[in-house]
Amino acid sequence: MGLVTGLEILAAARAGGYGVGAFNTNDLEITQAIIEAAEEARSPVMLALSEGALKFGGPALVEICKYLGGGAKVPVAIHLDHGSSFASCMRAIRLGFTSVMIDMSHADEATNVAETKRVVEAAHAVGVTVEAEIGRLGGIEEHVNVSAEDATLTNPVEAERFMSESGADYLAVAIGTSHGAFKGKGRPFIDHARLRAIAAVLPQPLVMHGASGVPTALVERFRAAGGVMGDAIGIHEDDVRQAVTEGIAKINTDTDLRLALTTRVREVLASKLEEFDPRKILGPARDEMKRVVAERMHVFGSAGKA
């Protein structure tokens, strides 16, 4: 099946009423875990690489994604997460990405429209599809740190105007989620009514950033293995399931994979003091991530759709 555009995967998801995971990767083991889970669950998937991931892994990381994604038995898109500029999106397209996000959500609406439109025109000319964002999520992103007070939820009227003026293919909306392992005091409030209002005026696939579940069991294991983490809380599975029925087609997950990898590495190192074979340390971590990815694919409803 191999590499396809983000839109091909997401249009089918929105039409079919299921969500597809965009899982962030930084290295070989994370990419293998995502692709293997997708193949076993028969799920389409998006490999998300941030600018930070590209800096960390370089073009070699993209080649790993192209090799594993292109050879997969399920549809895979390689997506630039939170592209901060036109140049950054063009670089990604040149490297072989099939989907890019231009994130100008921190700029004023006119700048957001103008920059998104520029990326859309160039990307579409070479068959790549584009995600944009309007509204502002809380938490730490690649290039901005937004406090909870500065987070702004997406306005449906602005969202409709933005999509018709920019021509973007899918839209990230701010409805109460935030990036990172701490998403609120108590269960985060997800504004489902707002999401339904946005979906009512936009037929395009909608995107939920900051969607990690931050499973309590994993956080407890992380702590038990010596990790230090303050309050931690994620998005409740029921909110994700409901959001999918309301128009969310792409669900971003990074924190859960970071947590799975680090927890398992800590556990192995703590229980096998003599171990120094990287494969015996990173192998179990890869299995743990694979388990987390597969679990999420069942929650999103994408399992069995490829």
- In the complex, least distance from residue 256 CB atom to ligand 13P, rounded to whole angstroms: 6
- Give catalytic status of residue 81 as yes or no: yes
Q: Is 267 in the site for ligand 13P (CB under 6 A)?
A: no
The site string for ligand 13P over 170-189 (x = CB under 6 A, - otherwise) reads ---------xx---------
Task: Give whichever of 31 and 253 is closer to ligand 13P, judged by the CB atom.
Answer: 253
- In the complex, least distance from residue 4 CB atom to ligand 13P, rounded to whole angstroms: 20
Q: Which of 27, 81, 108, 231 is catalytic?
A: 81
- In the complex, least distance from residue 137 CB atom to ligand 13P, rounded to whole angstroms: 8
Q: Is 254 in the site for ligand 13P (CB under 6 A)?
A: yes
Q: Is 212 in the site for ligand 13P (CB under 6 A)?
A: yes
Interface with ligand 13P (CB under 6 A), residue total: 13
Q: Is 253 in the site for ligand 13P (CB under 6 A)?
A: yes
Residues 10-49 contacting ligand 13P, CB under 6 A: 24
Q: Which of 35, 130, 159, 211 binds ligand 13P (CB under 6 A)?
A: 211
- In the complex, least distance from residue 49 CB atom to ligand 13P, rounded to whole angstroms: 10
Q: Is 296 in the site for ligand 13P (CB under 6 A)?
A: no
Residues 62-101 contacting ligand 13P, CB under 6 A: 81-82
For the record, the structure tokens of 92 come out as: 């990604």
Instruction: Kindly list the catalytic residues.
Output: 81
Residues lying near ligand 13P in the complex (CB under 6 A) are found at: 24, 81-82, 179-180, 209-212, 252-255
